[in-house]
Amino acid sequence: MNDDLPYSEACERNKAPILDVLRSAFAARARVLELGAGTGQHAVYLARNLPHLQWQPTDQSQYLPGLAARIRRDGGANLAAPVLLDVAQPWPVFEVDAVYTANTLHIMSWPQVLDTFRGVGRVLPPRGVLAVYGPFRYGGSHTSPSNRDFDAMLRERDPASGIRDLDDVIPVAAAAGLELLDDHALPANNRLLSWEKVR
Ligand X SMILES: C[S@@+](CC[C@H](N)C(=O)[O-])C[C@H]1O[C@@H](n2cnc3c(N)ncnc32)[C@H](O)[C@@H]1O
List residues binding ligand X (CB under 6 A). 8, 11, 35-39, 42, 59-60, 63, 85-88, 102-104, 107-108, 112
| Dist CA 14 CA 44 (whole Å) | 13
Q: Contacts from 7-10 at CB under 8 Å and sequence distance 24+? A: 7/39, 7/41, 8/38, 8/39, 8/41, 10/103, 10/188
Please, which residue, 127 or 157, has the CB nearer to ligand X? 157
Residue nearest to ligand X (CB): 38
Please, which residue, 160 or 198, has the CB nearer to ligand X? 160
Kindly report the number of other CB atoms within 10 A of residue 33's CB atom: 29
- CB of 124: closest distance to ligand X in angstroms? 17
Antiparallel, parallel or unpaired: β 54-59 and 83-84: parallel
- CB of 157: closest distance to ligand X in angstroms? 12
User: Does residue 176 contact residue 2 with C-beta atoms inside 8 Å?
Assistant: no
Kindly report the number of other CB atoms within 10 A of residue 191's CB atom: 18
| Dist CA 69 CA 129 (whole Å) | 28
- CB of 59: closest distance to ligand X in angstroms? 5
Please, which residue, 36 or 121, has the CB nearer to ligand X? 36
H runs (alpha helix) in 136-191: 145-157, 166-175
Query: For residue 147, which amino acid is it?
Result: N
Please, which residue, 92 or 126, has the CB nearer to ligand X? 92
Please, which residue, 53 or 102, has the CB nearer to ligand X? 102
- CB of 35: closest distance to ligand X in angstroms? 6
Please, which residue, 107 or 181, has the CB nearer to ligand X? 107
- CB of 199: closest distance to ligand X in angstroms? 25
- CB of 175: closest distance to ligand X in angstroms? 19
